[in-house]
Structure 1
Amino acid sequence: MAIDSDFSMPITRSAKKAMRQADARRELNKGTATKVKTFVKKVLVLSKTDPAGAEKLLPQAFKVIDTAGKKNIIHRKNADHKKSLLARSIAVAKEKAKK
């Protein structure tokens, strides 16, 4: 029986514990990454329909994005890019609303 060289089960106690820790962290990080995606989508959709409502949601979105960037769930510069994208989309929507 051939063993897959890409993946092997941990043998030592410390390796087993490290695997459990990695699994637990992965689950927590997945939740935070999902929150980031959800907030980005909400703000982008709201900016097209209701710029004022999107602006109220913006601080919450920034908080979630900053937290993800700080914890290295997403890269720090990726977090900055997402924040810039959201702020820019609201600014453009406000300009269109004025016209």
Structure 2
Amino acid sequence: MAHSRSAKKRVRQSDKRRIVNRALKARFRSQMKKVLVLAKAKGDGVQKEYRELVSWLDKAAAKHVIHKNAASRYKSRVAAKIKSLAAAAK
């Protein structure tokens, strides 16, 4: 348990940041699922939702919630999955 004032403040800051970071991660993960479900269902608007996902991933990387290479890896894998599902549909 924190004893000094500065340590108590750091605990408060960490708690706030953890909540924000978890919300950001949950947001891009749910967006990723949405994109993949749309791609599997061959629904319209996959590209629009993919662009939204890219935006959320870039925001998370910019705020250091995830590493920039991790964001790039997620984008690449989702794009490859969309492409393979589109090719399989033809």
Q: TM-score, normalised by structure 2?
A: 0.91
How many residues were matched structurally?
90
Aligned residues of 2:38 and 2:46 also touching (Cα < 8 A): yes
Q: After superposition, give the CA deviation of every residue in 1:35-56 in whole Å (9 maximum; x if it has no partner).
A: 0110111111111112542212
Gaps of 5+ in 1: 1-8
Runs of 4+ in 1 over 6 A off after TM superposition: none
Gaps of 5+ in 2: none
- Within 5 Å, give how 1:34-49 maps onto structure 2: 34-49=26-41
Aligned residues of 1:69 and 1:76 also touching (Cα < 8 A): yes
CA distance, structure 1, for counterparts of residue 13 and residue 42 of structure 2? 42
Q: After superposition, give the CA deviation of every residue in 1:16-72 in whole Å (9 maximum; x if it has no partner).
A: 011101100111111001001101111111111125422121111100011111111
Q: Structure 2 counterpart of 1:26, which letter?
A: R
Q: Structure 2 counterpart of 1:41, which letter?
A: K
> Percent identity, aligned pairs only?
37
